[in-house]
Amino acid sequence: MKLLRTGLGLVLVGTPGLVLGLTSYANEFITPEFFLAKNWSDTTKNAQDTIVQGAKQIAAEGPWTVTSKTVMPPTNNTHYWPDCAKAGNTTQLTPEQGKCHLLWTTCEYITRDGLFNPDVRQVNDTGMFQAMSDSVFFNSMAWVITGDDTYASNAAKEINTWFIDPATSMTPNLNYAQVKRGPGSQIGQHTGVLDLKCMSKLVSGVLMLRNGSAPAWTGELHSGLKTWVNSYIGWLTTNELALQEKAATNNHGSFYFNQLAALQILVDDTAGAKKTIQEYFEGIYQGQISANGDQPLETARTRPYHYRAYNLAAMIVNARIGEYVGYDAWQLKTKDGATIQDACNYAMTFTAAQSNKTSYDAELYPNVAAVAAVYGDADGKYSKWLASRDASFPGQPYFLWDQPLSNAGLTGAPASGGNSNTPNTAGGNTGSNNAKQAGCKKVFVWFSSFVTLSLLFMG
């Protein structure tokens, strides 16, 4: 099997056939109880296989570190996060000025919504973190699925390298995240807080290892991560950059609450997590969905299909975390009388091509599956929509945890039998799935942001 680099990350290419995507989702939160119960329908077998095979492949690429960059932050300490803003310079350069370190300190930079300056790839902390969190997320699931401790060890190694090992650990703040280059003082921007939005995926994986008593999850690892997280929570709840991001009314604010609530769960502050989620749903959420289901703050952006799907993912994660800590937001309406389901229904009426970005089509798929699992799909609207967009969707990882979800929208799929019961999850996923199993060949695709600074998933 060959490993390729693409605009979206890593692609594992095998023989021609139906493609199974191990996608770096914008964000996810899965309760450990759901996975550890292992009470999955036989229709999810292909999704399980995709997770296991993909986990093995991404683990082989790690571990990732914040210290591996060659461009220094203003502190001259690689342990700090010097991720660069997506701003473009407006100055004609001499050959000498064109050198990276001179360009960043002498040229004026401006922000252009939806456009990316290629020089941000000189510093890839964001891509490194997303790849690391995906590795923890998928390897933890693979450990539960297979019982093979190798996968738990893979996840534990990533955690130790990124957060605990003094030689490679990240400083627990984002003071230089999305630093805007140019003359004068170079400090981070509040938008840089978005760079660690995938904390809820990482927390999902850690909770599986911890609650499942994985041998690789040692007391030293647990206490080390908890110390780091407590320090970062302190920064996230008091620093001016973090508080500016919290106040953002679009997807930036939504992902801030994802991040904070998930980390509060990790340090056993369930009451704090519930308060955080309540603040989101009684606060900025109220202005995020119009009566017709539109998300006007996202529609106004340069790539509305992407941004609708992006913020929808964050809203779903906030609702999942809410249910986990005892706050049910699935039926909660915005000030205009709309729910998360309404936002999904509206987003489904568009295609990425209408935003001139066909590569973004798949961003919406896991959100549709999540909504189907939570709100129900009695008429098959959601499963048929997914089948029309992606014939391989029963082999996608999200098909395992977004249950019940029928794959009956696919034609010519061989029948499957066995256990059709699915357990309770944070998304309210109860019921059964007696759908037919799609036949999928073993061709695995891994979409991450390892090389490209999360170009697909940045707000």
Q: What is the pLDDT of residues 44-99, one digit of tens each?
A: 999 999 999 999 999 999 888 887 766 655 555 554 434 444 444 444 545 544 44
Q: What is the pLDDT of residues 320-338, one digit of tens each?
A: 999 999 999 999 999 999 9
Give the range among 4-8, 60-64, 337-341 with minimum mean pLDDT. Answer: 4-8
Nearest to 84 by CA among 152, 162, 179: 179
For residues 295-332, b (16+ Cβ closer than 10 Å) or e, as one string? bebbeebebbbbbbbbbbbbbbbbbbbbbbbebebbee
The secondary structure element, H or E, covering residue 445 is strand 443-447
Prediction pTM value: 0.81
Domains belonging to the chain, first-starting first, are: 2-447 (1.50.10.100)
Give the range among 312-316, 363-367, 401-405 with minimum mean pLDDT. Answer: 401-405
Distance in angstroms (rounded) separating the CA atoms of residues 434 and 177: 47
Note the pLDDT of residue 133: 96
| Token pair of 372 as six digits | 């189907």
Over pLDDT 90: what percentage of the chain? 60
100 or 428: which leads in pLDDT: 100
| Mean pLDDT calculated for residue range 35-42 | 94
| Count of CB atoms situated within 10 Å of the CB of 343 | 27
Note the pLDDT of residue 408: 61
What mean pLDDT value characterizes the chain?
A: 80
For residue 190, pLDDT beyond 70: yes
| Mean pLDDT calculated for residue range 98-111 | 61
- What is the pLDDT confidence band of residue 102, given thresholds at 50, 70 and 90? low
Give the range among 184-193, 256-265, 299-308 with minimum mean pLDDT. Answer: 184-193
| Mean pLDDT calculated for residue range 402-416 | 59
